[in-house]
Chain A
Amino acid sequence: MSETLTKFEAVIGLEIHAEMLTQSKMFSGCRVVDSVEAAPNSAVDPLSLGMPGMLPVINRSAVEMAMKVGLALNCEINAYNAFERKNYFYPDLPKGYQITQYAHPVATNGYLDIKGASGETKRVRIRRAHIEEDTGKLTHLSDGRSLVDYNRAGVPLLEIVSEPDMRTAEEALAFATKIRQILRYLDVNTGDMEKGIIRFEANISIRPLGSDALNTRVEVKNLNSFRSLTSSIEYQIAQQIETVEGGSVVEQATLGWDEDRKQTYSQRSKEDAHDYRYFPEPDLPPLIIGPDWIDRVREQLVELPDSKLRRYLTELGLPSYDAEVIVEDRPVAEWFDAAVAAGGDPKTVANWLINNLFALMNEHKQTIENSRVSPQGMVDLLALIEAETINKNTAKSVLVDMFLSGQTAKTIVEEKGLAQISDDGPILTIIQTIIDDNPQMVANYLGGKDKLRGWFMGQVMRELRGKGNPALVNRLLDQKLGELKKR
């Protein structure tokens, strides 16, 4: 294997089909529902059923979402947009054609930078992104009948096509992950792969290392998890190397991926008929996107992960692990930004977020959006530590309380009397009592068992019910024990 890997390299391009999370379908006012959860055919209208006389109307918000993605992927947004009919027969395609962009897509010539294997930046070019409509879903029953659900039919889809710039499954994964992250950042797609809301297709070919050739490629369709994306690419690379080394040639094919058996299989489907007979959709005049419209959409763009990451590393001085973890999800990053804006120290906020709040969220299966700990709430909690009103250990339990009850840190500390004891008097009294009550321990300590100091510390803190200011307790304990030694 290592020998063959030094002889060949893979050439990989990806296509991403992402549903756009609009209120209504691509060409009608029919609402869009979660097509996995909703009852079959509960979100259909005459247009999404392809009924006679129905006409498409372009969903403006879908176009704007596509423009946002195009801009985020550094594409040119094209002024002249045309829709065409892609003709093929399949019972899940109500009209017998799909309305799609073919010769004139909304976005072209972009790129996305990913992290290469050795941490270097690698640029993957984006060939195009175009708008189309999704199909329905077909279920074949064992008795030969087929059922069709048109809830998904007509849902806006964005198809993003990369150039074949990736060389390994890891690079493909990095690219796919980042595309998904950007779509989530832009609120275009939830990234929910299990529901088929985002699907990947890989084009794979191999060539001798050092060659520029683009050889016959194989397409693997409908990959709906990152695992199947990487496994299928690795499987195909190995297959193709074996084919070539065995003296055969790779043949062009459209394949599916069997996740259970971990192998590709030939797809016998609508894709067999390759003549789609594209022609301009006569029901839709060309859509012109003027510079003003592009500017308006650009203004609505949120800060993207790359920019956030740079800012966290350089301006806020976060460790790269922390920065990457926080940037991963836009709501988390926005929560973090809000906490920093509310006066929180970036590093401290990041620590508490990653080490404590995430644990609580995981344990209680909550997201940052529905967590009851607001950015301001966290900053207030950290301020109590800073002011030595509570110590860190108390703060952790206060955070749990905040998370469960939604009360502010201040209220919890006051109501439960958790404020630190920072007066010498009561602490000294407790230390003296413990010394008086434990003569044997004192004797052992004075006899050289220095480690018993920790036992005394623990006893004092227990008596103080954890509220003792640790620094003060330490100082006073040392003072008392020192006095005993001198005697």
Chain B
Amino acid sequence: MSKMTESADDMTKSTSPFLSLTGLRAALRDGSISSTAATEAILTRIETIDPTLRSFVTVTAEEALAQARAADQRLANGEKTPLLGVPVAIKEILCSEGIVSQAGSKILEGFKPPYDAYVVSKLKAAGAVIVGMTNTDEFGMGSSTEYSAFQTSRNPWNIECTPGGSSGGSAAAVAGGLAYGALGTDTGGSVRLPASFCGIVGLRPTYGRVSRWGVIAYASSLDQVGPMGRTVEDTAVMLQTISGYDERDSTSIETAVPDYEAACTGDIRGLKIGIPQEYFIEGLDPEVKAAVEAAIEQLAALGAEIVDISLPHTKYALPMYYLIATAEASANLARYDGVRFGPRVPGKDVIETTMRTRALFGPEVKNRIMLGTFVLSAGYYDAYYGRALKARTLLINDFNRAFEQVDVILTPTSPTTAFKIGEKADDPLQMYLTDIFTVSLNLSASCGLSVPCGRDSAGLPIGLQLIGATLQEETILRVAHAYQQATEWHTAHPPV
């Protein structure tokens, strides 16, 4: 390849919407593309493709272009903040000052918070260009975005299918080349599941690694913001930006943030990877199983040691999750009464006004509020919520024991690939089962990510879940990166 064609190649690459975040960052820094041009290209692409994908609820074109122009100035001055000039998207469950942040709910329709969530201010400080707010199941309660009050997002690989949820908007945007990276939130798998369904990388950090300040709460002891990217390195850059101690979140961990990009060494020789038998169960799609097994072989070939392990309380994770998450949600959602913010549906008195306003909650949210209220009620607390808390300790012990033996735990992210829109929307239990492999991590003090490891016969992506011990994000990034170096699943793009 001659020099001439190489540079011509670079030019086409730099305008490709599927260029990696780190690739775009390099192009921005060496001046081969401006942030304004990259942002305009993304906005044009959103205009063209998003009427189909419906990943954005709000596109902030004006603000994004202003941020891009400012970034170009700073780039010209030689500044090198981590995301300077990079167009990214955020889930609309993250409060964004002056921008409609509705958590997918009618009860927050048009709500413009007077503050930025911690992670949003971190993105801004890093120079990111925020192109819009992405779709989510209402308050993050769902696995498909079908429970969004505003729209259902589509899977870029097959628009008949769901992108997964609840951070389905962010996943579809990243997979569809509508953003170079995105933020989601993960309470029971809401970053990893859509990442898996859309063939991208999604990471759920250790609880406390990322501040929840300004994140519209679903289940406070489980919620965590997580980055999504088309490559492991891209995800590492996003994670780097949003991690850190925040005194405004009392559950935030006060410890130094390691260099996550540097963790992507490609070398996993000698690393022990545990395979929990409890995740290879009936109901696991054979194609998913085959892809995951192939990935295990690949990792072994890269020098990792594969160890069979057991997480015996896995089968209790899903019920535990629905007891704890709904209990917390029932309290967290009590503030939506139309008095101080958000829409108000007037009635003849305070009570009627409250009742009418709360009727704006969608059916799934109402389900969970009722379930949560029930499990905390006098006479039922010990049998349900109290027992779930005790079981949670057992589950944490499972993971602690496992991490005495291994460095990383490997599982499928989901038992299946993306399902059809409408397929499970009327069957909450089937929908809940989608999270069966992801919820354990939220209940324990672990971190985890989903990385693409194949496609099924219908061409839909398959995700591999890597779980790390508390604050071992570096380790799972290292394994996932090494895997991506040896495979090409992440280089394929959906037909949009």
Contact = CB atoms under 8 A, between A and B. Distances in A.
Interface of A: 46, 49-58, 85, 87, 89, 91, 94-97, 144, 146, 148, 150, 275, 277-279, 282-285
Q: A-B pairs with the 9 shortest C-beta distances?
A: A96-B334, A282-B221, A277-B376, A282-B220, A53-B214, A50-B335, A52-B216, A53-B95, A275-B378
The A interface is mostly helix, strand or loop, or mixed, namely loop
A57 B249 CA distance: 7
Contacts of A53: 94-95, 113, 115, 117, 212-217
Contact of A52 (B111, B334, B350, B378): B111
A87 B334 contact: yes
Interface in B364-399: 373, 376-378, 381, 385
Interface in B80-136: 94-95, 101, 103, 108, 111, 113-115, 117
B250 A58 contact: yes
Contacts of B212: 53, 55
Contacts of A50: 335, 340
A52 B385 contact: no
Interface string B217-234: 101110000000000000
Contact of A283 (B103, B220, B378): B220
B349 A285 contact: no
B341 A49 contact: yes
Contacts of B348: 144
13 contacts: A51-B340, A52-B95, A53-B95, A53-B213, A55-B213, A57-B250, A87-B334, A89-B334, A94-B340, A144-B349, A275-B377, A279-B381, A285-B250
B120 to A, nearest CB: 10
B328 interface: yes
A87 B376 contact: yes
Contacts, number: 103
A97 B213 CA distance: 19
Nearest to A287: B250
A282 B328 contact: yes
Contact of B108 (A52, A56, A285): A52
A51 B296 CA distance: 46
A56 B250 contact: yes
A51 B332 CA distance: 10
B409 interface: no
B483 to A, nearest CB: 34
A212 B13 CA distance: 88
A57 B252 CA distance: 11
Contacts of A275: 377-378
A54 B212 CA distance: 9
B248 A87 contact: no
Interface in B327-351: 327-328, 330-331, 333-335, 337, 339-341, 348-350
A97 B331 contact: yes
Contacts of A87: 330-331, 334, 376
Interface in B242-301: 247-251
Given A87-B376, A89-B354, A277-B377, A52 B250 contact: no
Contacts of B327: 279
A375 B327 CA distance: 60
Contacts of A96: 331, 333-335, 337
Contacts of A94: 335, 340
A155 B113 CA distance: 23
Nearest to A89: B334
Contact of B251 (A49, A91, A283): A283
Nearest to B341: A51
Contacts of A144: 348-349
Nearest to A44: B340
Nearest to A148: B339
A307 to B, nearest CB: 37
Contacts of A54: 213-214
Given A55-B248, A96-B335, A146 B350 contact: yes
Contacts of B378: 275, 277
Contacts of B117: 53
Interface in B310-339: 327-328, 330-331, 333-335, 337, 339
Contacts of B221: 282
Given A46-B115, A51-B335, A52-B95, 20 more contacts: A46-B114, A50-B340, A52-B101, A52-B335, A53-B117, A53-B214, A55-B248, A55-B249, A85-B331, A87-B330, A91-B350, A91-B354, A96-B334, A96-B335, A144-B348, A277-B378, A278-B376, A283-B249, A283-B250, A285-B251
Contacts of A49: 340-341
Contacts of A285: 250-251
Nearest to B101: A52
Contacts of A279: 327-328, 331, 376, 381, 385
Contacts of A284: 250-251
Contacts of B337: 89, 91, 96
Nearest to B378: A275
B478 to A, nearest CB: 30
Contacts of B114: 46
Contact of B113 (A52, A58, A97, A282): A52
Nearest to B216: A52
B280 to A, nearest CB: 32
Nearest to A86: B331
B350 A97 contact: no
Nearest to A58: B250
Contacts of B115: 46, 53
A52 B331 contact: no
